Homo-oligomer: A and B are copies of this chain.
Amino acid sequence: MPDTTRRADRLPGNRYGNRPTMKDVAARAGVGLKTVSRVVNGEPGVTPETERRVQEAIDALGFRRNDSARVLRKGRTASIGLVLEDLADPFYGPLSRAVEEVARAHGALLINGSSAEDPDREQELVLALCARRVDGLVVIPAGDDHRYLEPELKAGVATVFVDRPAGRIDADVVVSDNFGGARDGVAHLIAHGHRRIGFIGDMPHIHTAGERLRGYRAAMEDAGIPVEDAWMSLGVTDPVRVRRAAEQMLADPHPVTAIFTGNNRVTVTVIRVLAEHTRGVALVGFDDIELADLLQPGVTVVAQDAAALGRTAAERLFRQLDGTLLAPDRIELPTRLVTRGSGELPPAD
């Protein structure tokens, strides 16, 4: 007597919980395996009557094509990976969403992971994505050495770096004009009469932070203002240390009259500090923040367009996949100075 227990009657839990396969559908519909495949994929060459029978069996069994097997056979996964720093950061949400929309328009799924700004975790994630054979990768790098990606690039994994350039490999990159944006922001403060301007930002070896610092220095130099060490606080992003740094700048015998902040997290903390001060200290921040216009005063920022970064990168990625893109290139998107009040305060002294 043959094994008459139906698959679903056996113990659950092993192997996808025993899903029906095309073979099962074929048996039930009384057709060949390949015919089912044809129906599932909408290929031509199937009589309406046959198609109906197959469709019926599919519905009855609750069949769902196994894309893992499909991928194995076809070689394209129709999925791309996105590695960013932290999805919970309001800067990355729109970026991720923009990448997703472009992927969707190309019929691809997006798999994303957060590196938590840890180079090892970035590599781990990227390689996990490669093991899943994503067709392409959008990477916001945490590390500064991406030679581990060389085999992948050689193997044809499309790759675009965003927000910061790749380290030690030649790859497409889409960045904001961090240098120019910061320079303009600081120049804006200078134009409003400030000369003692503080800078609080992340470690300069992080590309964006370094560029923004360079922009700060350039603006000061253009105006012929020598920068004092006490005005600069580098490698500081956690609220406690930002607070301390800001308070020190303001407590100095010759306090700064304005502060330029290097990213949204720093900006938020500095806003809190300034809110406790009576003396009006001017502020320009890099990155826009929600509700910035409703604060008193409104917060002047150098805004970058996160969605545009994501969209541009994703589009470039798919052009790589199309084959319509040749040499790696560097694309720089402009920033925009949004004046809302805090950057237009005159020096308090």
B268 touches A131 (CB 8 A): no
State how many copies of this chain the complex holds. Answer: 2
- Complex interface: chain B residues within 8 A of A86 (CB): 97
A97 touches B87 (CB 8 A): yes
Those 5 A-B pairs whose CB atoms lie nearest each other, nearest first: A17-B156, A62-B151, A15-B75, A88-B97, A67-B131
**Whole-angstrom distance between the Cβ of A84 and the nearest chain B Cβ:** 10
B75 touches A72 (CB 8 A): no
- Complex interface: chain B residues within 8 A of A130 (CB): 64
Q: Among B69, B155, B275, B291, which residue has its beta carbon within 8 angstroms of that of A290?
A: B291
A155 touches B62 (CB 8 A): yes
With the chains together, A61 CA to B71 CA distance in Å?
22
Known contacts A14-B75, A62-B150, A271-B294; 9 additional CB pairs below 8 A are A16-B155, A66-B72, A68-B72, A72-B72, A79-B132, A109-B128, A109-B132, A110-B113, A291-B295
With the chains together, A83 CA to B117 CA distance in Å?
25
Known: A16-B75, A113-B109. Contact between A89 and B100, CB under 8 A? no
With the chains together, A323 CA to B13 CA distance in Å?
8
Q: Does A32 contact B (CB under 8 A)?
A: no
Q: Does A77 contact B (CB under 8 A)?
A: yes
Q: Does A127 contact B (CB under 8 A)?
A: yes
B96 touches A19 (CB 8 A): no
- Complex interface: chain B residues within 8 A of A41 (CB): none
**Chain B proximity mask over A288-315: 1 for CB below 8 Å, otherwise 0:** 0111101110000000000100000000
B67 touches A132 (CB 8 A): yes
CB-CB contacts below 8 Å: A302-343 with B? 307, 323
CB-CB contacts below 8 Å: A58-103 with B? 61-69, 71-72, 75, 77, 79, 86-90, 92-94, 96-97, 100
In the assembled complex, 20 residue pairs joining A and B whose CB atoms fall closer than 8 Å, in A order, are: A16-B155, A16-B156, A17-B155, A17-B156, A61-B151, A62-B150, A62-B151, A64-B152, A66-B72, A86-B97, A90-B90, A93-B93, A100-B113, A100-B114, A109-B113, A110-B111, A271-B294, A275-B294, A289-B291, A290-B290
- Complex interface: chain B residues within 8 A of A93 (CB): 87-90, 92-93
